[in-house]
């Protein structure tokens, strides 16, 4: 495995220095195969991907870890939602029909209609990433899908951000897709921070790899907006899981992505990642706890702490305490895994079909 210095030297030798233009530099490339002249092995290990640092592992096996609270909270939410469906059906049978009963009875249709409409909006209005449109972002999506062992590369779209910093993942039917707001995508340009964009794209593709955008899962989570604290906590746990995927895809981009969420795309360079993360155990009180508990995303100071301390899962309800513990040692890599499961840490299997 090459070191980061070796990777940087190799990037400079191949013309990917500060002045490298990803549009002209990638002209004629097939993102699944790499630049012209690469052999098959090089195609599966692109040198522009920074090497992994196993000491920053996401789990004892170096795979993207699912947050420990995600599945228990998912079970609670599904049980609550199923109970809601049964109660609504009972009210319907006895003739006691109101807005909430109709909402639950029609939930499968409403969810299907909403997902289909959202997907069509991207297909009709957004710019679809491809080898010729936002090629660097497209290549990051392909690489993240391969990193997580996905059999199909999700579609990826860029929409007008109008100053908003956002990205999301969703799906409809058998299709899965990622949407990146244009203001956020600018971070990945040659004058910005491509590692930050790779982390963000890995985060969103991670939502897909972890099954968060499944129709049946979202149907089972239909009552999340009506379950205070529990519903938001489940979404928060899923965000921690997606962060683990983003970290696995490009760990060097985690600080840049968080600094942009904190200070924006213009002032992100003025944000000190470690100084902000250090505040996580210092800020305390009931209202600090409440703001975190009611948030659908981890609060930024706690989120930064979790991305810096890779020895434990991100905190859900209680603030971090003490200095980050040293991450556990990584065991030796095992045999190659099959497509459809998570690859070993630092391995990139053959890229999936288009």
| CB atoms near residue 33 (< 10 Å) | 14
**Do 226 and 87 meet the contact criterion of CB atoms below 8 Å apart?**
no
> What integer pLDDT is reported at residue 56 of this predicted model?
47
> What integer pLDDT is reported at residue 33 of this predicted model?
47
| CB atoms near residue 23 (< 10 Å) | 13
- Mean pLDDT for the chain overall: 79
Query: Is the torsion defined by CA of 154, 159, 165, 170 positive or negative?
Result: negative
> What integer pLDDT is reported at residue 187 of this predicted model?
62
> What integer pLDDT is reported at residue 30 of this predicted model?
52
Starting at the edge strand found earlier in the chain, the sheet holding 127-128 runs 127-128, 155-159, 175-181, 167-172
> What integer pLDDT is reported at residue 155 of this predicted model?
96
pLDDT over 60 at 46, yes or no: no
Band (pLDDT 50/70/90 cuts) for residue 264 is confident
Token code pair at residue 312: 């434990």
Q: Which helix (H) or strand (E) holds 87?
A: helix 70-93
> What integer pLDDT is reported at residue 59 of this predicted model?
59
Band (pLDDT 50/70/90 cuts) for residue 354 is very low
Lowest mean pLDDT among 21-25, 50-54, 59-63, 182-186: 50-54
Q: What is the pLDDT of residues 121-180, one digit of tens each?
A: 999 999 999 998 888 889 999 999 999 989 999 999 999 888 888 899 999 999 999 999
Tell how far CA 251 is from the center of its chain.
12
Task: Report which of 306, 226, 241 is spatially closest to residue 70, judged by C-alpha positions.
Answer: 241
Average pLDDT over residues 268-296: 93
Band (pLDDT 50/70/90 cuts) for residue 22 is very low
Band (pLDDT 50/70/90 cuts) for residue 25 is low
Task: Report which of 147, 195, 202, 150 is spatially closest to residue 178, judged by C-alpha positions.
Answer: 202
pLDDT over 90 at 199, yes or no: yes
| CA-based end-to-end distance of the chain | 28
Q: Which residues are CB-neighbours of 43 under 8 A, at least 6 positions away?
A: 32, 33, 34, 351
> What integer pLDDT is reported at residue 62 of this predicted model?
59
pLDDT over 90 at 232, yes or no: yes
> What integer pLDDT is reported at residue 351 of this predicted model?
44
Q: Can you list the alpha helix ranges (DSSP code H) found in the chain? A: 4-13, 22-25, 40-43, 70-93, 99-105, 107-125, 135-147, 182-185, 194-209, 215-220, 230-249, 254-267, 273-277, 286-293, 300-308
In sequence order, the β-bridge partners of residue 158 are 127, 180
**Do 107 and 223 meet the contact criterion of CB atoms below 8 Å apart?**
no
Q: Tell me which of 203 and 33 has the higher pLDDT.
A: 203
Q: Which helix (H) or strand (E) holds 8?
A: helix 4-13
Q: What Rg do the C-alpha atoms of the chain give, in angstroms?
A: 21
pLDDT over 70 at 313, yes or no: yes
Find the length of the chain: 354
* Residue 173 region by backbone torsions, left for phi larger than 0, else alpha for psi between -120 and 50, else beta: left
Domain boundaries, the chain: 52-226+234-265
> What integer pLDDT is reported at residue 31 of this predicted model?
46
In sequence order, the β-bridge partners of residue 159 are 181
Lowest mean pLDDT among 21-25, 37-41, 316-320: 37-41
| CB atoms near residue 202 (< 10 Å) | 31
pLDDT over 60 at 43, yes or no: no
What's the pTM? 0.76
């Amino acid at each position: 495995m090459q070191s980061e210095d070796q990777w940087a030297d190799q990037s400079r030798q191949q013309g990917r220095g500060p002045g490298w233009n990803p549009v002209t530099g990638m002209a004629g490339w097939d993102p699944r195969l790499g630049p012209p002249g690469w052999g098959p092995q090089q195609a599966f290990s692109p040198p522009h991907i920074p090497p992994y640092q196993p000491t920053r592992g996401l789990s004892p096996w170096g795979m993207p870890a699912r947050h420990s609270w995600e599945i228990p909270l998912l079970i609670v939410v599904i049980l609550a939602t199923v109970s809601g469906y049964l109660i609504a059906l009972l009210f319907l049978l006895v003739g006691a029909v109101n807005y909430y009963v109709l909402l639950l009875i029609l939930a499968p249709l409403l969810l299907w209609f909403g997902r289909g409409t959202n997907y069509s909006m991207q297909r009709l209005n957004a710019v679809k990433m491809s080898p010729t449109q936002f090629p660097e972002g497209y290549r990051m999506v392909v690489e993240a899908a391969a990193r997580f062992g996905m059999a199909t590369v999700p579609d990826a779209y860029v929409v007008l951000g109008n100053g908003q910093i956002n990205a999301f993942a969703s799906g409809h039917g058998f299709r899965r897709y990622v949407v990146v707001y244009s203001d956020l995508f600018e971070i990945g340009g040659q004058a910005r921070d491509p590692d930050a964009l790779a982390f963000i794209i890995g985060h969103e593709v991670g939502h897909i790899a972890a099954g968060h955008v499944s129709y049946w899962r979202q149907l089972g989570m239909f009552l999340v907006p009506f379950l205070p604290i529990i519903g938001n906590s489940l979404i928060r746990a899923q965000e921690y899981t997606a962060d683990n995927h983003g970290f696995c895809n490009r760990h060097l981009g985690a600080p840049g992505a968080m600094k942009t969420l904190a200070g924006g795309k213009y002032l992100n360079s003025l944000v000190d990642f470690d100084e902000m993360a250090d505040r996580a155990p210092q800020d305390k009180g009931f209202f600090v706890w409440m703001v975190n508990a009611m948030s659908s995303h981890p609060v930024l100071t706690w989120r930064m702490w979790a991305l810096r301390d890779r020895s434990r899962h991100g905190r859900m309800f209680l603030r971090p305490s003490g200095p980050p513990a040293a991450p556990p040692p990584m065991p030796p890599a095992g045999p190659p895994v099959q497509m459809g499961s998570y690859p070993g840490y630092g391995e990139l299997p053959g890229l999936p079909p288009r």
